[in-house]
Amino acid sequence: MDITLALLKPHVVRNVYAFQQIKQIIHQNFTVLHSKEVHITKQLSEHFYAEHKGKFFYNRLVTFMGSGPCHAFILQSKDSIAKWRELMGPTKVYKAVYSHPDCIRGLYGLSDTRNACHGSDSEESVAREISIIFPELDKNRLSAVDS
């Protein structure tokens, strides 16, 4: 069993129906170890998305992430990173709608920036992103759950 970080972006947290539907998908597929509403300040968002600094969409992305509360989850399952990314679908919403219409981004994404959700893409990203979004958690206890 391993863990991943999932983040629901502001427009889906604001949309009661979308939020409920995505939570249902999460609970059907994972054990939720931790879950909380999180207000991602611009500063936090810049740190979280540092690898994209300088790209044309960076300012739009970090501003959008601070436009309202997000909801963060630490999810556990076998192959949790790949599983959550598959449930999210492609980054680009036009592609998601066309090729994976039933994925979360295909159903609830509005644009490439407002593509409904985030998921860590590697074990290193999981550790880094959990320490940013859940700084209050003890890393050693999380890896104990992970084993």
Distance CA(139)–CA(147), nearest Å, equals 13
CA atoms 121, 114, 13, 132: torsion sign: positive
In whole angstroms, how close is the CB of 143 to ligand GDP at the nearest point?
23
In whole angstroms, how close is the CB of 54 to ligand GDP at the nearest point?
13
Dihedral angle computed from the Cα positions of residues 46, 67, 105 and 16, in that order, rounded to the nearest 10 degrees: 140
The only residue of 11, 34, 71, 118 in contact with ligand GDP, by rule CB under 6 A: 118
Contacts of residue 125, Cβ cutoff 8 Å, sequence gap at least 6: 5
Stretch that binds ligand GDP, among 26-34, 40-48, 115-123, 134-142 (CB under 6 A): 115-123
In a 3-state reduction of DSSP, which class is residue 8?
Answer: strand
Task: Print the binding letters for residues 34-63 with ligand GDP: x by CB under 6 A, - otherwise.
Answer: ------------------x----x--xx--
Distance CA(27)–CA(66), nearest Å, equals 26
Q: Is 115 in the site for ligand GDP (CB under 6 A)?
A: yes
Considering beta carbons, is residue 41 or 91 the nearer one to ligand GDP?
91
The footprint of ligand GDP (CB under 6 A) covers 52, 57, 60-61, 91, 112-113, 115, 118, 121
